């Protein structure tokens, strides 16, 4: 069943949201007006530094560095000794290893190819045992730390 307003029309999302906010005691639009042309994809409390282009550029650059650090902190490239794919690896503990696969490695991995040829989905595989052996070998050779000494991404 579809809700309809007094005119028999289906209310739009904005009207529905506004009425729910009013019902639950939230502020009305007079206190928080919608700014025409404002991007709905930004957090309204975050300053955009539009009046200070240098600061805006510095914040943008710092944000890009933070993002890159968060995504890559402590990752080391490890090659599979069997099929020679390269993945990014970080040992978080002796028992926990983070492996960042890329699409080329997933496509070329011999173990994943075997799973696909048998009609399976390699995304459901726990890991590639050949790559796991290569990671152990990288630790034994000193190419990868047993436990990464890289700072956590949030410790910036």
Could you report the per-residue pLDDT of 5-27, keeping only the tens digit for each?
A: 566 666 677 777 777 777 766 55
The predicted structure's pLDDT at residue 153: 66
Interatomic CA distance for residues 70 and 155, integer angstroms:
10
DSSP the chain: -----TTSPPPPHHHHHHHHHHHTT---TTTSPPPTT--TTS-TTS---TT-HHHHHHHHHHHHHHHHHHHHTT-EEEE-TTT--EEEEEESSSS-EEEE--HHHHHH-HHHHHHHHTT--GGGSS--HHHHHHHHHHHHTTSS-SS--SPPTT--
Q: What is the mean pLDDT of residues 86-97?
A: 91
Could you report the per-residue pLDDT of 31-49, keeping only the tens digit for each?
A: 445 555 555 555 556 777 8
Q: Residue 28: which pLDDT band, with cuts at 50, 70 and 90?
A: very low
The predicted structure's pLDDT at residue 149: 85
Alpha-carbon distances of 74 from 63, 64, 79, rounded to whole Å? 19, 17, 16
């Amino acid at each position: 069943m579809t809700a309809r307003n007094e005119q028999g029309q289906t209310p739009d999302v904005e009207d529905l949201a506004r009425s729910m906010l009013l019902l639950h005691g939230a502020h009305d639009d007079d206190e928080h007006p919608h700014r025409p042309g404002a991007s709905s994809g930004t957090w309204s409390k975050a300053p955009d530094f539009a009046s200070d282009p240098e600061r805006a550029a510095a914040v943008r650059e710092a944000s890009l560095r933070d993002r890159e650090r968060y995504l890559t902190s402590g990752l080391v490239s490890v090659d599979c000794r069997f099929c020679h794919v390269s993945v990014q690896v970080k040992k978080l503990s002796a028992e926990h290893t983070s492996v960042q696969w890329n699409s080329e490695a997933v496509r070329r991995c011999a173990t994943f190819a075997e799973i696909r040829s048998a009609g399976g989905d390699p995304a459901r595989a726990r890991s590639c045992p050949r790559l796991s052996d290569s990671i152990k070998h990288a630790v034994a050779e000193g190419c990868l730390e047993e436990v990464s000494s890289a700072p956590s991404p949030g410790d910036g």
